[in-house]
Amino acid sequence: MELNKNKVVVGMSGGVDSSLAAYLLKEEGYEVIGITMRLFDTYDKDDNLVYPDFIEDAKVVAKKLCIPHYVVDFREDFRKKVKNRFVNEYFKGRTPNPCVICNKWIKYGKLLEVAHRIGAYYLATGHYANVRYDEKSKKYRIFRGIAEKKDQSYFLHSLNQGQLKHVLFPLGKYSSKKEVRKIAKEIGARISKKKDSVGICFINNGDYASYLKAQDSSHTSAKSGNFIDIKGRIIGKHNGIINYTIGQRRGIDVESEKPMYVVEIDSEKNTVKLGEDKDTYSRGLIARDPNFTLFKNLESEMKVEVKVCQWGWFLAATLSQMDNSNIQVLFDKKERAIAPGQAVVFYKDTEVIGGATIEKVIK
C-alpha cells in the first residue's frame, strides 16, 4: 500500500499532550486519525475489571476534533515485550525502564505498523522532543524538546532510522507545559486541566514491590535475605531485593553510626550490599546493545554528555566501543547511584546521538 504523507495516526491517551498533538496536526491540514492503545487491564477499587477511563477520554477528544477514533488491543504484546521484561529485570536486582522498551516495540513498533496498514505515512505522539532530517548525512536526528522540564528525548534513543522517518512530535517546539495547557483550552477545559501521568502506567500508586510480588510471591527476590557491608559481613536482614535500588537510603533498617545506602544488589546470593554515601559513586559504566542514530559503532573515543536516568543531570563523559555489543562510559568525575538496567543516553549539545542499557558499574 502506498502511504499518504498527509495522513497521520495520533497515539491518543486521553491526556493533554496527545490531545493537543491531534489538534495541532489537524490545524496544519493533516488528515488525522486517533488511535488509543489498550496495553493492560484496569480494575476498580474492588478489584473488578473495568473499561479504562482514558479510552473514553480519548473518544471525547476525537469527537470534539471531528476525527475518527479507534482502539487497538496490544495487551498480549505489551505483556510479553514490556511487563515480563520489567518483572524479570527486577527479579535480577536491576532497575529497568519500561518506557524505553515500550517506545521501541509498542508505540513506534506495533502502533506504527497499524498506521501503515491504514495508509498513514506518519505516527504522532505527545512527546516533548524533535526529529529533523539532515540533508548532509541523509539521516533523521533526534533533538531535545524546547521545554527542558518536560523533555522526553531520553526515552527515544532506541529508535532507528526506519522509525524516525515516520514520526512527528508536534509539542517539541513548545517552551513549557503551561503554554501547552493554555492552547489545550481550545479543545476543552476538562482536558486542559487533566493532571500529568506519573510513574509506570501499569502499576498503581507506584507500588512496584506489591506488583512484583503479585507476579510471583515465591520468587527468591521477594524473600528476606542478608544486608552485608562493603567487606561482605552480614549486618542485618532485608525484606526482598525487589524493594531496593542503587543509592537508596529509605527503608534501610540496620544499626550503624553513619547513614547507610544501597551499593550493590546480588540476586543470586539474595544480598543487598550497604555502604556510606561515598561508596555509591562510580567512575564509569559498561552498557550493552548500544544504538546510535547516525552510525552503527564508534570509530574512536567521543566526548559527550550522558544521562543515566530520565530526570538526572547531564554528565560529562567519554565513550569508547568495547565490541559490537558493549560500550564503555567513563565520567569526567565520579557519579552517584548508577543503576544496572537503566538506560544511559548520549547527547551532543541538544542532540541525542544514541543510548544503551547499563550492564555494570566501574568503581
CB atoms within 10 A of CB 214: 11
Show the domains of the chain with their CATH numbers.
4-205 (3.40.50.620), 218-275 (2.30.30.280), 280-362 (2.40.30.10)
pLDDT digits (tens, 9 = 90+) for 205-252: 778 888 999 898 889 999 999 999 999 999 999 999 999 999 999 989
| DSSP code at position 302 | E
pLDDT at 180: 87
Find the mean pLDDT for residues 93-102: 95
Q: What is the pLDDT of residue 189?
A: 53
Q: What share of the chain is helix, strand, coil (3-state, %, to 5)?
A: 30, 35, 35
Q: Is the pLDDT of residue 255 over 90?
A: no
Active site residues: 102, 201
- Predicted TM-score of the model (pTM): 0.93
Of 360, 344, 345, 354, the residue nearest 282 (C-alpha): 360
Stretch 123-144: mean pLDDT, rounded?
A: 96
Give alpha helix (H) positions in the chain: 16-27, 53-65, 75-78, 84-91, 98-102, 111-117, 161-164, 177-184, 189-192, 208-215
Report yes or no: 69 and 63 within 8 Å, Cβ to Cβ: yes
Output the nine-digit C-alpha cell for 287: 552498557
Nearest-CA neighbor of 155 among 353, 343, 347? 343
